[in-house]
Amino acid sequence: MNSGWLRDKIAVITGAASGIGRATSRLFAREGAQVIGLDINPAVEMSWLREIQEAGSQGMYIPTDMTSSASLERALQMIGDHYDHLDIWVNVAGGSGRTYGDGPVAECTEEGWDYTLDLNLRTTFLGSRAAIRSMLQHGRGVLINIASVLGLVGGDEDFATHAYAASKGGVIALTRAIAAYYAPYHIRANVICPGLIATPMSRRAQESPKIRERLSRLQPLTGDFGQPEDVAYAALFLASEYAAFITGAVLTVDGGWTVV
């Protein structure tokens, strides 16, 4: 697909180094956007930039710790040196806190709770705040936040990470609050809730024979993991003018997880 849906738009994507963030970066570049990637991993800068340029777009990659307002502020200063406004901001940065003690609430450690909320909800707050401040100056804009199906439904023993669920539920609530408040300012805010997607974050699930055996019931549309591009295309639609009358939406990209 290369229809120019985002021609001449300036888009920031956090968590751009891998998985959903990287797929979204490539797709937005192919669709004509100038893409700015923010990610804590500095090692992939050259390969990321090469992909963006091969897609026919200009891009910037700025190593950024999205849990740190100071790190994000430095990135924003660099962005401001090159661009006078932002059209689209996609918050993908986040991840699992399982190795830090996330789990069922009776077992979840305080370290696991704090780490996971910082990783998923604080990053989205800081990114959303930066996006909205810029878009208010420009008079319009599109914010897209990535949550999870676990922010909508409870997880059983295979997915019982309650800090993660709380953080993603918070992302949903924050996005809808932003959508309601900033609609009169011509700023749209929507949230995508992926199911199990084949990314580095889901490696535990991908390597689990038990979870793979369950996929036909968990995600019956395909009986398999989704691909990062599935989420990227949903983000493309929400970022485009074809979604100009959509704000506050919670779009599941989950192969049927939330309807079975």
The structural domains of the chain, with segments of one domain joined by +, span 10-259
CA distances from 56 to 32, 34, 83, 188, 232 (A): 8, 9, 18, 27, 17
Give the pLDDT of residue 159. Answer: 93
36 token code pair: 């700015």
Question: Angle 86-87-92 (CA atoms, 0-180°, nearest 5)?
Answer: 85
Q: What is the pTM of this model?
A: 0.97
Q: Is 224 left (phi over 0), alpha (psi -120 to 50) or beta?
A: beta
Give the pLDDT of residue 21. Answer: 98
DSSP state of 7: T
Choice among 61, 100, 115, 164 that is catalytic: 164
Give the pLDDT of residue 74. Answer: 98
Kindly write down the DSSP assignment for every residue of 236-260, as one continuous string. HHHHSGGGTT--S-EEEESTTGGG-
**Distance, CA of 153 to CA of 51 (rounded, Å):** 36
Is there a catalytic annotation at residue 164? yes
Helices (runs of H) and strands (runs of E) counted in the chain:
9, 7
Give the pLDDT of residue 4. Answer: 93
**Distance, CA of 160 to CA of 150 (rounded, Å):** 9
User: Letter for the amino acid at 73?
Assistant: E
Classify domain 10-259 by CATH number: 3.40.50.720
Give the pLDDT of residue 201. Answer: 86
Give the pLDDT of residue 260. Answer: 87
Ordered mean pLDDT values, 10 residues apiece, the chain (260 residues): 88 98 98 98 97 94 98 98 97 97 98 98 98 97 98 93 98 98 98 96 92 96 97 98 98 96
